[in-house]
Structure 1
Amino acid sequence: MLKAAGLDVTEERAYRLLVRSPGAHAAELAAELSVPVDSAHAALRSLHAKGLARPLDEDRFAPVAPDIAIGPVLLREQEGLDQARQAVDQLTGEYLSHARRHDPGQVVEVLPSRSALRQQLRLLQDNARHEVVYFCRAGHVAMPSEENAEEPAALRRGVRYRVIYERALLEQPGMPASLAHGIGLGEQARAVPELPVRMAIADGELGVLPLVQHVNAGAEPTAALVRRGSLLDALTALFESQWERATPLAITESGEVATSGCPLDSDSLSLLSLLVAGVPDKSIATQLQVSHRTVQRRITQLMEQAGARTRTQLAWHAARENWL
């Protein structure tokens, strides 16, 4: 366990014995370790040289406190590992940058079977750090929504999910309950009449989508694993354009999924009406009797809820969805 601190097995055992029995003789250590006395002497001298033990006399040593003796060594090791990781990340970026120019397989990898597609969808979500976006069409190619155990786990660890559902999918048996569960955990869900493709993208860095949208019964689907590049940027832009047009979904008091005519509470509606009317933030804060910072924070939350990047987009979305 202390290999990272530069100790071999015999040295670690000797140090542990010293911690339990400070001042033990080399002969006592040899008996405890089941090694020759010369080996025990060598281990103690090595511990002394590494700053983990101090001599009391010719045959006896006392341990140096672990946090003093080992802590700085491990800190240096950690710093070295961090620097190595940064170097690996930089080299990986350079490698992919050059490799993608000469080998399209570095950008797009073909997944030849349903099992490969399922595995990649699971890995994509397990490794997501910030956000997963989905196009969910009616029917399923890899796995039904209720079998996607990775999404609840990712939501619980703070990964944001934005999912657009095809309306026909919402009518399939068991789908409303599955969707309500996801929304209850924090999924942001919207619906459109029809989606052009199925796909999932994690962190804007990795995407998965079937290459054939309609697979005959018994046939294996073929999918593409798309890494960061212009193609993935185009797929991300496609998602964002559909997200802006999609209708938000919410859970009713009875636990059913329904289109949300206006998901805002009265306070948010008051703020939004003042914002759309062109009232400055400071004046809004005065009228609502809250701080300027609170107004800015709530406007940011409204923009996130509407999927808007600017206040103009927020106003446009509010008008389109009849929030005001």
Structure 2
Amino acid sequence: MLGAIGLDEAQESAYRALVALGAAEVSDLAHRLTLPEADTERALCRLERQGLAARSSARTGRWVAAPPGVALGALLTRQRHDLEQAEATAALLAAEYRAEAAEPPVHDLVEVVTGASAVAHRFAQLRLGATEEVCALETAPPATTRGSDHDSDGDGDGDARDGTATRGVRYRAVFEREVLTVPGGIAGLSAALGREEVRVVDKVPTQLVVADRTIAMVPLTGRGAEPAALVVHASGLLESLTGLFEAVWRDALPLRLGADGAVSPEGPPGPDATDLQVLSLLLAGMTDASVAKQLELGLRTVQRRVKGLMELAGVTTRLQLGWQAYERGWVGRR
């Protein structure tokens, strides 16, 4: 937990133990930490340089912990100052980069990134560096712009996206319909709907991520080959990729699952949350049997709910039901 202020595991353990004891001999602390005395003393010397520990003036070889509220507070204040300085420097460098990149050489408009780790790291940079919007076309399962199923920090991709929402970054994603049929696909999309705008199409032309309409990333290799991706900077190609996303987004069906799509209780009687899940999946192109399997419902239950929706909408065909669902706001484009 204290790694953010520059302490490694041994140093943090030593400080925690010293705080618990108030003061201790090196030998006692080494025994408590199950570390060699030499390693323990090195950790204490590091804590001394950080202002977290001091040698006792009363007894040689005895160490005293600095009060955490004061010592850690000072380190955190210094860390915040350093971060503010780094942010200011980053802003200046970004301004310089924009000025220099007004007419960049053609060969600087694209980058080729190879290797799973490098591709995943670059993907995370695009996503976490966005300040306004991230747009994505998603295959099922994800292809090579991710490098692997995990981000560069080792966390799951879904977790990594959460940071964009908390920073006020809009996230729009179009998934292939196959995502709805893979194990856990519905659950994953249900979680994503809390922080993303999600739509579904039969097939996306390519996996793609565009950050702030200033940089994009597309895969260069298929599954089974070493991951490689093309990073595209501001150019006609970037505009084309952005236009491709918007075209797919316009034609995709919005996905509503669970309580997120429920009709307001103040309005007229309407479908419940499960009805809307069934309706949304049917409009996404799934069969009754597939919907029943994904939602863990009986096939007859799904069919009965569809019949109830048709009666509620006053229609006799499923095509009419789809039209009425849009007209009544049960489902709709965002």
Give the number of the structure whose alpha-carbon radius of gyration is greater.
1
